[in-house]
Structure formats: C-alpha cells, structure tokens
Amino acid sequence: MLAKVFFTKFNMPKMSKDEPEEISGKILSALVKIKAPDEVYFKLKELCEKGRPNSEKIDCVYKLMDKLGVLPDNIRHHDKKSDMKAMIIRQEGNKFFKNAKYVEAVVAYNRSACYAVSNEYISIAIGNRSAAFFEMKMYQECIESIRLAREYGYPERLKGKLIVREASCNEELRKRPKIREIFVPEIMVPVKEEIPFVARSLVLRENMGFGRHVVTEEDIPAGTFIAIEEPYCKTLIDKDRYKRCATCFELVPDILIPCEKCPHTMFCSQRCKDRAFEEFHAVECPISGTLFRVFTHVHLLVFRTVIRAFLAFSDVDTMAQRLVEIEKEKKNFFSFDWTKDLTPEERYTPIHNMITNGSERADFEMFILCFHASLMFYLLKEYCTVFSQRFLTTRKGEDLLKNLLYHHLRISSNAYYQYTVENFVNRESGSVYFYHEYAMAYGGFYSLLNHSCCPNVLRVSIRSATGIITVKNIKAGEQIFTCYEPCHHAVEDDISARRIKLLEKYNFICRCPLCAHPQNFAKLPIGIGHLEVPVQPDKCTFANAKEGFNSAVAYLRLCSEFFGGHHPVCDAEEKFRVCLNILCQNVTLEIQQKNALDFF
C-alpha cells in the first residue's frame, strides 16, 4: 500500500512494457521531493566518520527504501514471452516495411522473434526479416535469415516466398565481384612480449600530478595503432539489443537468434549464447526486463561487472580473503603475462584495482551511491536465485556484495568507455556524421589513459575490441592522452562550460594546453591548409575511405611537425575518424544499406 501511495502522490508514471525506460532517476527524484535523504544524511556521515564498512551505509538507505515501498517489483517489469505479443510486434514491423523503413522493420521482426513462444512464430518473424534485407539490397544477409527461418520450421504454406526470394538473392550476388578488399586493424609497431596487444614502447608511470598514466619510450607517428584491447566487461545499450549479439556485439541482425527464456536478448551463435550464460546471462535473464527499465547503461555495466567478479571465485570465503590480498598487492594491467591463460580472478584483478574517487564529494553523492547499490542488491537477493543461493546465504556474503557494488559504483568515470559507430543525418545543408553509441565497457589498459581536450590518440571500436590509434606524432617520453568526451569542436567550445562538465562528471579540473592557453589554438598557422578527403557521407566506398584515411594520416603528421603535438586539428581528426570507421565497417545498419554505403 505504501508503494501505491508513494507512486501516486508523486505522479510516478506506469511503466510501459513496450518501451523500457530508466526509472531509478524518477524514484530518486521522488525521494528528494519528500526529503527522504535528510532522514539518513546524519547517519551516513556518522558511519563515514567512524570508518564503518560501506555495507552499513547501504543498509541504512535500503531500510529507508523498503519502508517507503519503492524497491522495484520485478513481476511488474518482467516481460513474458507471448505469441500474441509477438504477432502484434510483427505487424508493427509490417507497417515499417510498407513505409520502406526497413531498418525499423528488421528491429521489429527481431523483437517479435524474441517474444515468440512457438517456433512457428519465431520462423515467420525471421522470414519477414529476410524480406526487409532483400529490399535493403543486403542479399547475403537475406539468405542467412532465410536459412534460419527454415531451421525454426518455417510454415510449409509460406515456403514458396522464401524459395523465390533466395533465388533472386543468389542471382544478384552473382553480379557482384567475388573479391573484396578488407581492412584489418593491427598494431603497426613492435608489441610487448607479455602483452601482445599493446605497443612495446608503452610503459606505466605514476606521479603526484597525473597519478597512474601511460607514456611512450619511443617516437610514434600519427596514424599508428598502439593497442587493441578486449574489455573485461561490456554491455549493450538498450536501443541496440535487437541489432547486435549480446555477447560479441557483432552487428549481425540477419543471424541473431533469441534467448529461449527472456525476450530482451539475442545471440549470433550457440557459442555466444553459451558464453553469455556462463559469464552473466544466467543471473541477468530472470530480471532482464527490470534491469533495462531501472538502470542507466553505466549502472548496467557495474551490475554485470560485479556478477562476473563473484563468478570468478569458488565461494564467498575465498573471495573475501582474495579481495583483501588483491587490494594489498595493487596489481594492474601491466602486472600480468597476457599470453598465458589467465584465471577469471587474474582477469578481474586490474578492474578491481582501478582508481576510485578518493572520497564522496557530498552527502547526497554518498546517498546516491547507496541508493543504486540498494537497488542492485535487492534484485540479486530477491529475484536471482541462481546467484543468491550460491553467494547470499550468509550475512558475510550479503555484506561482501554490498561492499563490492559500492566499490564499483565509485570507480572513476574514466574507467569505462563507449563503443561508437558512424551514423549520419540528412539536413538541408548536407549530410552530417555523428557518433552512435551502442555499448559500454571496462578495459584494464584504456582505464589508465588520462584526459586531454586535445588528445594525441583516438579510440575506435573494432568488433568486440577497442583500438587506440595516434592522431598526432608522439615523442619519446610524452604521455598518451585520450579524450573522455567528444572533442571534435573543442576549440570552439566555451572553456568554462567544458571544464565544469568535466569536473562534474569526472571530478577533475582539466589543465590540458587547450584549456590552459586557448588563445594559442584559435587558428591553424599560415601555410597549413584544410584537409580535403574524398568521402561523401551518403555514398562512401571502401576505396575512397582508404584514400581519405591515407591523406588524413599524412596531414596529421605534417601538422604535428609544423607546430608540435598539442595543437588540436579538430576537422582533420574528425575526417580521419570517419574514414577509419568506414574501413573497419564500423557503421550503423542504416548506413550499411546499399543505397547509403557500398563496400564493393
């Protein structure tokens, strides 16, 4: 009754089961309106001053939330599979199809397949998916969907459509060149013997000014891959879960198969499905609907990281003892031989030892950390029996979970990063490229890189990995800097606003050259023109992207030689990024449509 009164009083909307939305922020806002945090501020401060475990802080907030009845009801947000709902969603896809909105149709058909109970309804959804790919002129993808539709038992009465469509696809494919050039990103300098996916010249340093940071002991020219890292943990952003494999992140909507238990997850193969259940999905599956509705993608990443951390140890007692030892040993990414078959515990260690914000910046921040930790703890304890029966049978296990949730929620924001692809919108002035974020991840190496508004490296998504490539010439002894925020218009940005944003989000005041001396970077020096690359946003081929990439590399190297490695060349770096992503086929499904992007 308390919950009903609470949500009614503060006009908390009824959650739509069709459109997942993040509700933790709404609950938090409602708590603030009734000044609920005031009830526990003093207690939290007292616990902090006494050096009490974070689990006791979480208990304090958890009891308040339980008293007010605002802990989320998994039954309310849980979506059940239903052939009726699958049919309704498939009909929505048909409407998109008739209006030539084929990408939206593909997403709807995949969603329909996820909600379907019977193989017949799954097969019909996948069969319809093949029709959308045919209209997109993505013939190989069409054939793959036809194959899957048959495997799921496509109805005999409809098979004639698939036969005709498949024959048309094969005819179209015969007209295309059989050989196509493929760009394979690779580290272009000698690599470390024990870390073969990181350049040999990169070393870890630590000082008072920068903390832990990475420098190079050798000169590295612009346009050089210096690392290609597979993250420890990653999670798809909600809007892409019907386009990409939940395990490997491949954009392969033509071969995605649904999870048999929940309607929110798809896999590209049985191998990825098995791996997902082993690493995280066995725990997440029963509450997947609630997770997508309650948490932001950053919180989902924390949730999954903590799950993987627990699964890395045999039992609670072993885990508790080893975490104490791990924190004392202070091993980081560079402490391990990555050519060996590392144990799950060893792979987790660099993530656990990431730098956290040293102290909460305000009482309210402490409350927020406890608030989110309480939500996560509640869901794992009450609704994830596969997890709770193994790890939460004792008070020690519960406290360990609370403390670990708090720990990872406090990890500095720069520890995680986004996976992005290219997309574009058509405007009256022309087509404009922009980022499309589709996933979040933690990486042991990337988390060691510091921020600059005029960075010397760029992050690029490479399938499930992340590549780090230089955009400036970097001299021996110089630090490797990335940009935590999109920086391609940094020169024109308001410096004060940019620094405030970085302070609020990452808890530091940026003192990079661009922030400290902006007047020095207003214009390019005389003698350096603008980069012209042959990439048209609405007709990008592999050939002209490769030409543009090579031109951009030469231009960036020239700029670095002309006025040093700290001057931002925003326009050139943007064009460099666009060309690189096209070469890597790192683009959205919308651009992959053959009328927008042709790699042949």
Query: Is residue 187 domain-resident?
Result: no
The amino acid sitting at 514 is L
Whether residue 454 is found in the same domain as residue 496? yes
Sequence length of the chain is 600
pLDDT by residue for the chain (600 residues), tens only, comes to: 333 333 333 333 333 343 334 678 788 888 888 888 888 888 898 998 899 999 999 999 999 999 988 888 887 778 899 999 999 999 999 999 999 999 999 999 999 999 999 999 999 999 999 999 999 999 999 999 999 999 999 999 999 999 999 999 999 999 887 666 778 899 989 999 999 999 999 999 999 989 999 999 999 999 999 999 999 999 999 889 999 999 999 999 999 999 999 999 999 999 999 999 999 999 999 999 999 889 988 999 999 999 999 999 999 999 999 999 999 999 999 999 999 999 999 999 999 999 876 555 567 888 999 999 999 999 999 999 999 999 999 999 999 999 999 999 998 666 888 888 877 655 454 555 567 889 999 999 999 999 998 899 999 998 889 999 999 999 999 999 998 876 555 555 677 888 888 887 787 888 888 888 777 665 555 445 556 665 554 456 677 788 888 888 988 898 888 766 566 667 788 888 888 988 888 888 887 775 444 443
DSSP code string of 300-359: HHHHHHHHHHHHTSSSHHHHHHHHHHHHHHT--GGGS-TTS---HHHHHHHHHTSPBPSS
Query: Is residue 89 domain-resident?
Result: yes
- 413-430: b (≥16 Cβ within 10 Å) or e: ebbbbbbbbbbbeeeeee
Instruction: Give the CA-trace dihedral at 469, 501, 509, 576, to 10 degrees.
Output: 20
Whether residue 494 is found in the same domain as residue 537? yes
Check residue 543 and give its pLDDT: 74
Distance CA 261, CA 13 (A): 27
Whether residue 99 is found in the same domain as residue 170? yes
Check residue 505 and give its pLDDT: 79
Strands 416-427 and 266-267: unpaired
Distance CA 436, CA 439 (A): 10
The CATH code of the domain that includes 107 is 1.25.40.10
DSSP-derived letter for residue 265 is: -
For residue 165, the enclosing domain spans: 83-175
Strands (E), 428-484: 430-442, 450-451, 457-462, 465-470, 481-482
Check residue 584 and give its pLDDT: 87
Query: Which tokens go with 539?
Result: 């007709």
Whether residue 538 is found in the same domain as residue 471? yes
Distance CA 203, CA 341 (A): 22
Say if pTM beats, i.e. exceeds, 0.95. no
Whether residue 111 is found in the same domain as residue 212? no
Whether residue 479 is found in the same domain as residue 542? yes
Contacts of 530 (CB under 8 A, 6+ apart): 524, 571, 572
Check residue 490 and give its pLDDT: 56
Contacts of 71 (CB under 8 A, 6+ apart): 65, 374, 375, 378
Query: Is residue 143 domain-resident?
Result: yes
Query: Is residue 359 domain-resident?
Result: no
Whether residue 477 is found in the same domain as residue 574? yes
Do residues 416 and 442 make contact, with C-beta atoms less than 8 angstroms apart?
A: yes
Query: Is residue 73 domain-resident?
Result: no
Check residue 2 and give its pLDDT: 35
Whether residue 471 is found in the same domain as residue 544? yes
> How open is the CA angle 435-412-238, to the nearest 5 degrees?
40
Q: Describe the strand order of the beta sheet including 225-229 as a list of residue ranges.
A: 225-229, 465-470, 457-462
The CATH code of the domain that includes 501 is 2.170.270.10
Check residue 585 and give its pLDDT: 83
Helix (H) or strand (E) segment spanning residue 121: helix 119-135
Do residues 210 and 450 make contact, with C-beta atoms less than 8 angstroms apart?
A: yes
Do residues 58 and 377 make contact, with C-beta atoms less than 8 angstroms apart?
A: yes
Considering its fold, how many domains does the chain have in total?
2
Query: Is residue 586 domain-resident?
Result: yes
Whether residue 493 is found in the same domain as residue 557? yes
DSSP code string of 452-467: -SS-SEEEEEETTEEE
User: How many other CB atoms sit within 10 Å of the CB of residue 526?
Assistant: 6
Query: Residue 141: exposed, middle, or buried by beta-carbon count in 10 A (0-12, 13-18, 19+)?
Result: buried
Whether residue 142 is found in the same domain as residue 226? no
Q: Which value, in Å, is the radius of gyration of the alpha carbons in the chain?
A: 25
Do residues 289 and 264 make contact, with C-beta atoms less than 8 angstroms apart?
A: yes
Whether residue 450 is found in the same domain as residue 577? yes
Residue 527 backbone class (left: φ over 0; alpha: ψ -120 to 50; beta: rest): left
3-state SS class at 268: coil
Contacts of 517 (CB under 8 A, 6+ apart): none
Query: Is residue 374 domain-resident?
Result: no
Query: Is residue 297 domain-resident?
Result: no
Give me the half-sphere count of Cα atoms (radius 13 Å) on the Cβ side of residue 586: 28
Do residues 467 and 580 make contact, with C-beta atoms less than 8 angstroms apart?
A: no
The amino acid sitting at 304 is R
The residue among 327, 333, 377, 334 whose CA lies nearest residue 356 is 327
Give me the half-sphere count of Cα atoms (radius 13 Å) on the Cβ side of residue 325: 8
Do residues 187 and 445 make contact, with C-beta atoms less than 8 angstroms apart?
A: no
The residue among 178, 197, 177, 179 whose CA lies nearest residue 187 is 197
Distance CA 175, CA 478 (A): 52
Whether residue 498 is found in the same domain as residue 573? yes
